[in-house]
Structure 1
Amino acid sequence: MIRLIDISEENWLEVIFLSTMKGTTTICEEFVASNALSLVQAQYEKTWTTKAIEYEGKIIGFTMYGFAKKQGYHELCRIMIDHKYQGNGYGTEAMELVITEMKKIENCKKIYLSTDPENIRGKHLYEKLGFVNTGEFVDEEELYVLSINE
């Protein structure tokens, strides 16, 4: 079972060394910023929530979500599954958990996310979960939105 857990003194190092790519962790990976960059960003931009994604006691991924002040909307800013665990449905399950958590945020009527136009797997997942391409771009990434039905 997938769970979202707090990032703590005991697990933060494990979280920052997760990577979507085989090899070394970098500040900007193929389709997502590094977990280390995200954790630093969340320390200075207090509107973000960061969580580790855990499966059977192992940390397998990371997510960051909250309110994007600059854009003025609620956003699933980052989500990643370590390359060793991809292709098992964990990303879908983790996204569903994040969406459930975001629905609890006061005044969150829509969830936005953006992705690289070449992230075909990601876009397929987002659309499967009900996100719709807005036709807009943010920082050269395609903007998607999920309207929340209450």
Structure 2
Amino acid sequence: MDISLEPVTEDNWRACAALSVRPDQQAFVNDVAYYLCMCHYGSVWQPLAVVSGGEVVGFCIWGVDDDRSRWIGGVVVDAARQRTGIGRALVVALRDRLAAEPGCPNVALSYSPDNTAARALYASLGFVETGEMEDDEIVARWSPRDPAGTGGPAGNVGATR
């Protein structure tokens, strides 16, 4: 799947805000407008549009924690474009981009224990559940020093968020 991660701008924010997930997924993600407000009015999260074929097909946010770990959040793929590999391509592209930043010990994300699809996707990409919880969500981490996600001596354990 060929995608690009692009800054959210005055030219594409409306297309981002118009994205929606399936009804059965609404319990697991917020509306993109909520994430855009978090980014605009907070100092932690940065938004990205996911573009394929010149069209906004998804959205995500990322941030840097106090321990310098990078976090992926707010992953949204439009309902009409799901099951095409966009979600997998998005997570891999953002994970690799964040892991390449100097001083990045690991890339983290969190998900509801009930979100079995997300849990399976992230595990297949080498994210390892750490036993940490972020609010009521499971935390999983991927280390550039442990890309297979074995949780071995290279890491995949980190500071609490």
**Which TM-score tier does this pair reach, normalised by the shorter chain?**
0.7 to 0.9
- Residue of structure 2 in register with 1:134 after alignment: 130
Matched, 1:53 2:50: yes
Q: Give yes or no for contact 1:21–1:30 (8 Å, CA) kept in 2.
A: no
TM-score for the superposition, normalised by structure 2: 0.81
User: For residue 141 of structure 1, what is the amino acid of its counterpart?
Assistant: E
Deviation at 1:72, TM superposition (A): 6.8
Question: CA-atom RMSD, angstroms?
Answer: 2.0
Name the counterpart of 1:6.
7
TM-score, scaled to structure 1? 0.87
Q: Percent identity?
A: 27
Displacement after TM superposition at 1:132 (Å):
0.5
Question: Does structure 1 conserve the Cα–Cα contact (< 8 Å) formed by 2:57 and 2:81?
Answer: yes
Match status 1:106 vs 2:107: no
Q: String of CA shifts for 1:19-44, please: whole Å, max 9, x gaps.
A: 1125xxxxx93211221111111112
Where does structure 2 lack aligned partners over 5 or more consecutive residues? 147-161
Unaligned ranges ≥5, structure 1: 23-27
| Aligned residue in 2 for 1:147 | 143
| AA at the equivalent of 1:36 | A
Q: Which has the higher strand share?
A: 1
Moved beyond 4 Å, runs of 4+: none
Q: What letter matches 2:108 in structure 1?
A: Y
Distance (whole Å) between structure 2 residues aligned to residue 104 and residue 46 of structure 1: 22
